[in-house]
Amino acid sequence: MHKKNDNSIVPVEINLNAAKSGEVDERNLRQMGWQIEWTLGQMFGGSPMAGNTNITGTAAQLAAFAAVLGREKKYIDVFNKLGLGNERTFSEKWKLDLAIRRFERETGLKWPFK
């Protein structure tokens, strides 16, 4: 999100269909990565500014995006609670890897965005 010259706030736009529509280059991927990182920080930090994010894509792309975010959170929570060597941590990592593959298949984008 950024401010326009007239001090109004411009919403963050994330298009999950960008790769399949041929709109992705290295610059766009970096920008998308920053936008998603910023949005997640706002969401998990409880900021009302997260509402200024518009994520678009097909229903399958949006579902895959939501699933991978949820799996990332579950994996991090279990990892922090039980450590890397725990069987449940391995299970959550496997589920995260499946969600990542689905996201990449649906969007044509690599996860995570860097």
- Domain limits, the chain: 2-107
Q: Which two tokens stand for residue 75?
A: 């994996």
pLDDT class for 1, splitting at 50, 70, 90?
very low
Q: Is the pLDDT higher at 2 or at 33?
A: 33
pLDDT tens figures, 27-75: 888 888 888 777 777 766 666 555 577 889 999 999 999 999 899 889 9
The residues, ordered by sequence, that sit 6+ positions from 88 with a Cβ below 8 Å of its Cβ are 78, 82
* Predicted local distance difference test score (pLDDT) of residue 38: 77
Q: Which of 55, 50, 82 is nearest to 68 (CA)?
A: 55
Rounded CA-CA distance 13/77 in Å is 28
Supply the pTM of this predicted model: 0.77
